[in-house]
Amino acid sequence: MKTSNTRVAITGFGGLDIPHAGASVARALRAGWQGPLTIDALVDDSAMTGAWQPGLVDTVTRIHSPLKGDEAFYSSLLHAQKKLGFTAFIPCLEQDIAATARLAERLRKNNIDTLVPNADKVAQLGSLTLASYLHQHHIAYPHSLIAHHLHEVAHYADHLGYPVLVKGAELELIAYNAEQVLRFSSAVLERDRRSGVLLQARIAGEAYSLSCLINQDGERVDNLSCRKLAINSNGHSVCSSIIDSPELESQGLEIIKKLDARGPITLDLIHPTGGSIYFLEGVKSSLPDWCMLGHWANKNLAVELLQLLTEPEIDSTIIPENRTNDAPLLVRSITEAAVPLDDMQHLDRHGHINVKEIDNAQSRIYNSNTSIGQSDGVRVAVTGTSSFDLVNSGIGVARALRSASGGLHLIGLCYGTFDSGAYNKELFDVCFQLPITENDNTLFEQLKKIIKMQPIDVLIPCLDGEIPFFIKFADELKELGVHTLLPNLDSFEKRSKTQLFSGIYKANQQGFVIPETISARNEDEVLAAVKKVGLPAVVKGPISFCVTVIDESQAKAAWHTLYYDGMKEVLVQPMISGPSFAVATVCNHQHEPLTMLTVKKLSLCPKGSTWRAMRLPQLELEAAFARFLKEIKWVGPVEGEFIRDEILDRFYLIEINPRFTGWIYYSATLGSNHPQQAVRTALGEEITPEPDKTDLVFVRSTTELRLQPYQLASFSTKGYLHHNRIVSDQIKES
């Protein structure tokens, strides 16, 4: 073990729902480095939420993005190095790696050691130039085309066939029709300002990833392979397992040899069904975002890279000791924290901050000496436990409840085998699978079986589509001892988009405005509505989906996308520009909000989920929203989404969600803890919460959960998985 301190700077702590690798590299170093270690997070935006995870990094420092030019990036990197004293630098973003390659010699002269390919090689392996390089070197890859203009995109996608993978600088999407391709490509071209969009044919088969570490002399130091067990709509793996495949390793290393790589390199490979050759889908000159999987298998590539940078005597091969045959699995999950507002403001003002320890497990709950119910051991079931494509709110609800009471029993009700909540033993005591079915009676029969195995005191549904089911069976659940806090079906429908924007409510609610809305049921009606409200406009589905259109062709594409998804009616509204706000509350049986929490959303992922927000009370807005909820006789948790027109100084109501919001854990850190209020109200307790007092900023980022193969198999076959909090004999199988 080293006794002297090692100091390393790392980039790549953003990415939101498509995570950058920096946070995973930092976690792997923190977990596996032997000896004192200081990690400096270098960010070009304080919104890079991964850097704010409690206990992950020691400092956060602002540097210039290479998009501002190599010299700006170089000078800010030198300034950070002089201030912090790091000698090793691990860039984890494509743009940072490219700039570092161009500046490598100058950085070394200033005692900043890094390991990246040469600049020409990085340019050749870019997403828009890779196909040409692979063709020249006879490396198998999926048929790929580059569209330089938006009008080429749909034609190329039709030629390749669907589904097709669409790639930008950071974003990528698996598209299933021309409308999705057009919409996503338009956003990529506008966001990245690149010379084109890559479209790649999808090959049916098993997906893999191989990560390798090559030293400066071109010698392989180590490598590790994983199989992608589940891939979301972004083309990103949400569940992976370490594998030992000589065939994969042989072909992958041969590809890396042809690429003439240096430093870390990660290949995304596909093995066609019935084929023998692995096709190369993508290359990154960095460590993977699944570094922790290697650490769990005693093969920590991040540690080996840092050893190469700080201990040059270990130069050709590193053979870590005590490697085991253990083959853990990684499930992508979500972590949430609350960062002092002063810390973020300090970073924005001064460009640097020493990160304070943030106790993410403790919330400032109302009357912390009072348990969540009249006695410990209250059993609360929560649905919406997935972060596969979208972050369901059940994860935040569970985290808030867990922080409120250690004696609480939390039960996860999951719809998918790869729901990350099912494997989070810090949140849930036991998780059960519910069937995905349109038959209410089938679902209720399965729920009754679960209740027989594991009694439930309170059930909190967290998905829009299941609320009517739980309203329908609320009385039957009550007879089984299960309490809920839900509105009636009439109130539920009154907040739906089709009724909310139908004109039955007055537009001016004396605190917010309901925007002009036109219902359309075919392409001609959509075009007429767009013409009336003006461009740009917003086209919405009655339940989900929202897209901004800037011309008639995009309006047509939006209509066809929704129509193909089974929606026979859309809503057209004028586009309202301004910051996003949200008001969250819980209403009692008298339709009165117990407390109101208004936030300004600071960072949204491409799919609209909130990844950074801060409390910003709006008394007039809150009072108006409370009156509206009283009017529709609402009961239970609810969230109103608003956009503020800063020119006219007014709020426009965009949507009302009939459940807890995904960022509701934030309420626990501030003091009001809305899920705790809901549980106590459902149990018939009278509560008077204190107002939120603390100035904290909510941040969310991705993380990894470790599980063993038997856990995945058990959940898939038995339909439940218990963790240490509830021993197995408490689950009574029928």
Say how far apart CA 45 and CA 11 lie, in whole Å: 11
DSSP characters over 200-228: EE---EEEEEEEEEE-TTS-EEEEEEEEE
- pLDDT of 356 reads 60
Share of the chain above pLDDT 70, in %: 91
- pLDDT of 201 reads 93
The CA-CA-CA angle for residues 677, 682, 688, to 5°, reads 35
Are the C-beta atoms of 427 and 392 separated by less than 8 Å?
no
* pLDDT tens sequence across 497-546: 889 998 888 888 889 999 999 999 999 999 999 999 999 999 988 877 78
Q: What is the mean pLDDT of residues 262-282?
A: 95
- Model confidence at 1, pLDDT cuts 50, 70, 90, reads low
- Model confidence at 732, pLDDT cuts 50, 70, 90, reads low
Nearest to 567 by CA among 534, 598, 545: 545
* pLDDT tens sequence across 446-501: 999 999 999 999 999 999 999 999 999 999 999 999 999 999 999 999 999 889 99
* pLDDT tens sequence across 624-639: 999 999 999 999 999 9
- pLDDT of 375 reads 43
* Residue 729 clears pLDDT 60, i.e. is over it: no
- Please give the DSSP secondary-structure letter assigned to residue 376: S
CA-atom Rg of the chain in angstroms: 26
Q: What is the mean pLDDT of residues 127-152?
A: 88
DSSP characters over 457-501: SEEE---GGGHHHHHHTHHHHHHTT-B-----HHHHHHTSHHHHT
In this structure, what token pair is assigned to residue 127?
């997403």
Whether 143-202 and 516-575 share one fold: the answer is yes
Q: Is residue 650 helix, strand or coil?
A: strand
Residue 667: its H or E element: helix 665-670
- pLDDT of 362 reads 42
* pLDDT tens sequence across 324-360: 456 789 999 999 999 999 999 999 999 999 986 554 4
- pLDDT of 321 reads 47
Give the Å distances, CA to CA, from 35 to 305, 307, 365, 375.
15, 12, 38, 45
Average pLDDT over the chain, rounded to an integer: 89
Q: What class does CATH assign to 6-124+206-327?
A: alpha beta
Backbone angles phi, psi at 133, to 5 degrees: -65, -45
Q: What is the mean pLDDT of residues 225-232?
A: 95
Q: What is the mean pLDDT of residues 415-419?
A: 94
The half-sphere exposure of 106 on its side-chain side, counting CA atoms within 13 A, is 12
Give the Å distances, CA to CA, from 34 to 37, 67, 195, 324.
8, 36, 44, 19
Say how far apart CA 353 and CA 43 lie, in whole Å: 12
- Model confidence at 213, pLDDT cuts 50, 70, 90, reads very high
134-160 burial, b if ≥16 CB within 10 A, otherwise e?
Answer: beeeebbbbebbbbeebebbbebbeeb
Nearest to 603 by CA among 178, 56, 52, 129: 52
- Model confidence at 32, pLDDT cuts 50, 70, 90, reads very high
- pLDDT of 195 reads 67
- pLDDT of 728 reads 45
Domain boundaries, the chain: 6-124+206-327, 143-202, 516-575
The topology under which CATH files domain 516-575 is Dna Ligase; domain 1 (3.30.1490)
- pLDDT of 557 reads 81
Q: What is the mean pLDDT of residues 249-272?
A: 96
**Low-confidence winner among 71-85, 306-320, 627-641, 698-712 (lowest mean pLDDT):** 306-320
347-377 burial, b if ≥16 CB within 10 A, otherwise e?
Answer: beeebbbebeebebeebbbbeeeebbbeeee
Say how far apart CA 59 and CA 215 lie, in whole Å: 28
* Residue 369 clears pLDDT 50, i.e. is over it: no
* pLDDT tens sequence across 502-512: 888 888 888 99
Please give the biggest Cα pair distance in the chain: 76
Q: Domain 143-202, CATH 3.40.1190.20 — does that match?
A: no
